[in-house]
Amino acid sequence: AQSVTQLGSHVSVSEGALVLLRCNYSSSVPPYLFWYVQYPNQGLQLLLKYTSAATLVKGINGFEAEFKKSETSFHLTKPSAHMSDAAEYFCAVSDPYNQGGKLIFGQGTELSVKP
Amino acid sequence: EAGVAQSPRYKIIEKRQSVAFWCNPISGHATLYWYQQILGQGPKLLIQFQNNGVVDDSQLPKDRFSAERLKGVDSTLKIQPAKLEDSAVYLCASSLGQTLMNTEAFFGQGTRLTVV
């Protein structure tokens, strides 16, 4: 079975500081990995995804994530936080071979950005 | 391109009542998903359709929840009778294909259900 663990339900950074949101996964097969962002009262928007190509994935709004198989991690980073980055972030895993496009989400990390 | 449309946006019902949610996916998207997002948790898949057939409904509480996707386009999710623990946001998503390698799942804004 697949699962995702996001370390830290709340992360607070200052504007301009590095953003680091942690995600560890469990999967018996090479997974697809995703980061989604959710703004208040909105649906989820895809930030980036890893599908077995380059291990460093660049996404929208300056975010990137690195797939590290040895650490079973897919942490999300952004060099410089902006006030508009304040939102809930979800890491998700998908097994394309047995579960179609089913996404298994972590608990989410709420990012706050202080001026 | 129009996104995934859901209605209503908000619904308040009493326990033991019934409720229905509607979803119109992006045109041409064969795969449709219903997720349940309880406050403070990540979304959980309830049911996945491929055209008008069910691919995965293993986490759908079938004694009270039902869903259909007639003609492979719009979908309706129903709860009857509702329980307090059904209070959540119900998210509909759609994608071109079953695998997300070359496609993306697009999410609607969700329906926030409160059961009192």
What single DSSP character describes residue B101?
A: S
Q: Taking the CA atoms of chain B, what radius of gyration do you get in angstroms?
A: 13
CB contact under 8 A, B33 and A99: no
pLDDT at A51: 87
Enumerate residues 30 to 49 of chain B having a beta carbon within 8 A of any beta carbon in chain A: 31, 33, 35, 40-45, 48
Within 8 A of A40 by CB-CB distance, chain B residues are none
Nearest CA in chain A to B35: A103
Per-residue pLDDT for A99 more than 70? no
| Cβ within 8 Å, pair A43-B40 | no
pLDDT score at A19: 98
* Nearest-CA distance B63 → chain A (Å): 22
Confidence of residue B82 (pLDDT cuts 50, 70, 90): very high
**Sorting pLDDT into bands at 50, 70 and 90, what band is B1?**
low
Residue for token pair 């508009």? A84
Residue A7 contacts B where some CB pair is shorter than 8 Å: no
Show Cβ contacts of residue B85 under 8 Å, excluding neighbours closer than 6 positions. B115
Check: CB of residue A2 under 8 Å from CB of residue A102.
no
Residues in chain A: 115
Strands B44-50 and B31-37: antiparallel
The contacts of residue B41 (CB under 8 Å, 6+ apart) are A107, A108
* Exposure of A93 in the CB half-sphere (CA atoms within 13 A): 25
Give the DSSP letter of residue B73: S
pLDDT of the residue at A98: 65
